[in-house]
Amino acid sequence: MAQAKTFKTEELEQVLNYVKLSKHAQRNRAILLLTHWAGLRVGEVAALRMCDVLDANKDVKSEIRLAPEQTKGGHARTVFVNEKLRAELQCYADTLKNRDLQWAFFPTQKFPRRGFTANTLTQHMNAIYRQCQIEGATSHSGRRSFITNLASKGIGVRVLMSLAGHKNISTTQAYIDVNDDMKRRAVELI
């Protein structure tokens, strides 16, 4: 099976412009940016509760601590949230009517307390990418793009491995999509 597409900046902008005009625009934007800017798996996004993202003052935390049951490998990990993403998440959080800290961070109309399942959120994200006609994009594209973009900026594979929550470097290396821009910059270092 082919790996999920890694996004160019213009493609992410195309998707964000599309969701800007959709129902639940702030929610959809926050979901997408958590995968693209923090490298969360779609299941981790679906598992987020208010208390994971918001502090007691209802402000977005700079670190999201995922419990073992919220991650794929069953290992707790910390997700670091940069200022740009914190601002985006705060805009979304400010739109929420109920901010009970035990409720889902991404409630649905049908299940406001529980929110999305990993499967329904995967389908939702894939539908957005399909509607934007981004060939090869899946709910895993944001995570692959996050890792590839950091690798192209010179971040070491050990740091990438930790940020991704991987246990093996080989797993992280498989995520990195080498592109022509990376090769051009590499040869200029000679």
Contact 62, 86 (CB under 8 A): yes
Task: For residue 31, give both structure tokens.
Answer: 């979901």
- pLDDT for residue 123: 97
Main-chain dihedrals φ then ψ at residue 78, nearest 5 degrees: -105, 130
Contact 100, 114 (CB under 8 A): no
CA-based radius of gyration for the chain: 17
**Mean pLDDT of the 136-157 span:** 92
Q: Would the pLDDT of 143 be above 80?
A: yes
Domains of the chain: 9-141 (1.10.443.10)
Task: For residue 16, give both structure tokens.
Answer: 């964000």
Query: What tens digit of pLDDT does each residue of 167-186 get?
Result: 888 888 888 878 788 788 88
Give the predicted TM-score (pTM) of the model: 0.91
- pLDDT for residue 1: 58
Contact 66, 136 (CB under 8 A): no
**Mean pLDDT of the 69-84 span:** 94
Q: Would the pLDDT of 2 be above 80?
A: no
- pLDDT for residue 7: 94
- Write down the mean pLDDT value for the chain: 92
Query: What tens digit of pLDDT does each residue of 32-48 get?
Result: 999 999 999 999 999 99
Query: What tens digit of pLDDT does each residue of 79-121 get?
Result: 999 999 999 999 999 999 887 889 999 998 887 788 999 999 9
DSSP 75: -
Instruction: Print burial letters for 60-99: b (CB count within 10 Å at least 16), e (below 16).
Output: beeebebeeebbeeeeebebebeeebeebbeebbeebeee
Nearest to 64 by CA among 74, 73, 52: 52
